[in-house]
Amino acid sequence: MFKRIHHIAIICSNYETSKDFYVNKLGFEVLAEVYREERKSWKLDLAVNGVYQIELFSFENPPVRPSRPEAQGLRHLAFEVNDVAEVAKILNEKGIVTEPIRIDEFTGKQFTFFTDPDGLPLEIYGC
């Protein structure tokens, strides 16, 4: 019935800040960008490694969603990378703070977390 996850939608508090973060710092490709006048909302379609996966939205005065302490609902987004330490180093050089690298006790793979400008937890996970 279900084939795959089609995309993930993220609502940000400051469109320009989040657009800069996802496009210029994380390097996601812009596929489309539209302003929806009736909703006073931007919609930015982003590709991760050439595949459409993220929609970034702006809305007027969105309520804050808690990330810490961990709240019910979507916990975090994880991105697969070849080398966790190398990607963490690149993120750190761009001013993005990452947690210390850990090892998944079940898979033996490396991973670490960082956050987007609104505190959304993001993970890089070794393949």
Q: Confidence band (pLDDT; 50, 70, 90) for 27?
A: very high
Cα dist. 2→7, 54, 91, 102 in Å?
13, 18, 34, 32
Structural domain range at position 26: 1-63
**Residue 20 and residue 58 in one domain:** yes
CATH number of the domain that 83 lies in? 3.10.180.10
pTM (predicted TM-score): 0.90
30-70 per-position pLDDT tens digit: 999 999 999 999 999 999 999 999 999 999 888 888 888 87
Last residue in a domain, options 42, 63, 84? 63
3-state secondary structure of 124: strand
User: What digits encode the pLDDT tens for the residues 66-117?
Assistant: 888 877 788 899 999 999 999 999 999 999 999 999 999 999 999 999 999 9
pLDDT digits (tens, 9 = 90+) for 84-97: 999 999 999 999 99
The residues pairing with 54 across neighbouring beta strands, listed in sequence order, are 8, 46
Residues 3 and 53 in one domain: yes
Give strand ranges (E) for 1-127: 8-12, 29-36, 41-48, 51-58, 77-81, 102-103, 110-115, 121-126
Percent of the chain with pLDDT over 90: 83
Does a structural domain hold residue 68?
no
